Amino acid sequence: MAYQVAIELLALVRDAKLRDAKLRDQAMRAAKSVCLNVAEASGRTSPADKARVFGIARGEALEVAAALEIAQVAGEVDGEVAERGIRVAARLYAVLTGLAR
């Protein structure tokens, strides 16, 4: 489930079409990193190692949400698109919090 939500977040960032190229690149990098870290954590066998990598993914999800909020406040993205992305990032954060325990 976490991976599917991470992919959904990545698609939302792609479709948001942030106008600031640097912020767009940062948001895409963070969204891709969430997906990769969720996949990596799923392959870990040590509970502590899984929790560590899921924690990294959680931080990346927050970074995506922050980028969308910054773009929204700066008027560089449609507000509804940004809000949807922030909601998905919050849902992903909650899922990852459960997995990191």
Q: Which residues contact 19 (CB under 8 A, 6 or more apart)?
A: 71, 76, 77
pLDDT digits (tens, 9 = 90+) for 43-85: 999 999 999 999 999 999 999 999 999 999 999 999 999 999 9
* pLDDT score of 81: 94
Angstrom distance (rounded) from CA 96 to CA 64: 14
Is pLDDT at 101 greater than 90 in this prediction? no
> Residue 19's domain is classified under what CATH number?
1.20.1440.60
Total domains present in the chain:
1
Q: What is the mean pLDDT of the chain?
A: 97
The enclosing H or E element of 38 equals helix 21-42
> What's the domain range around 48?
2-99
CB 62 within 8 A of CB 89: yes
